[in-house]
C-alpha cells in the first residue's frame, strides 16, 4: 500500500484531507505526550487508492511516533488488540476497520483499554 504525508501539496499529490487524530489511555506517551494531532493528508495513497485507516496507521508509526516501542501500538501491521479505535465517535468495527476510507474533517481516536495496576 501507499503512504500519506503531512503536506501533500508540496509533493504534487491528490487533494488534502484535513483530519484530527487523538490518543488516550496512555497512548499519547508514544506520540511525544501530545494527545491531539492535526494532519493534512492526501486523499489517495501512493498506489492511487483512497487513503484508509491502514495508511494512516502506517504513517503514524513511521513519521509521528517518536517512541521506539511500536509493538505497544501495532501487532502484525495492525492496531494491536486492546486499543479501541473510534472514527467520529463510532467504533471502527462499524466502519470497516482498517479499510475505512478517510473523509475530510474525520476525528480518529485511539484509546488504550489496557492499564497497569
Q: According to the model, what pLDDT value does residue 7 have?
A: 45
In the prediction, which pLDDT does 6 show?
45
Q: Using one digit for the tens of pLDDT, what is the confidence trace for 58-86?
A: 999 998 998 888 899 998 889 999 999 99
Closest CA to 72 of 58, 56, 83, 59: 83
Domain boundaries, the chain: 8-112
DSSP 61: I
Q: Supply the pLDDT for residue 13.
A: 54
Q: Tell me which residues of the chain have a pLDDT lower than 70.
A: 1-13, 115-117
- Residue range 8-112, CATH number: 3.10.20.30
pTM for this prediction: 0.83
Amino acid at each position: 500500500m501507499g503512504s500519506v504525508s503531512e503536506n501533500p501539496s508540496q509533493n504534487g499529490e491528490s487533494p488534502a484531507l484535513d483530519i484530527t487524530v487523538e490518543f488516550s489511555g496512555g497512548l499519547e506517551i508514544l506520540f511525544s505526550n501530545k494527545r491531539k494531532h492535526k494532519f493534512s493528508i492526501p486523499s489517495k495513497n501512493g498506489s492511487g487508492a483512497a487513503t484508509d485507516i491502514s495508511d494512516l496507521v502506517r504513517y503514524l508509526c513511521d513519521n509521528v511516533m517518536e517512541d521506539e516501542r511500536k509493538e505497544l501500538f501495532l501487532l502484525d501491521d495492525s492496531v494491536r488488540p486492546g486499543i479501541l479505535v473510534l472514527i467520529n465517535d463510532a467504533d471502527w468495527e462499524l466502519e470497516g476497520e482498517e479499510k475505512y476510507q478517510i473523509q475530510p474533517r474525520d476525528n480518529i481516536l485511539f484509546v488504550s483499554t489496557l492499564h497497569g495496576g
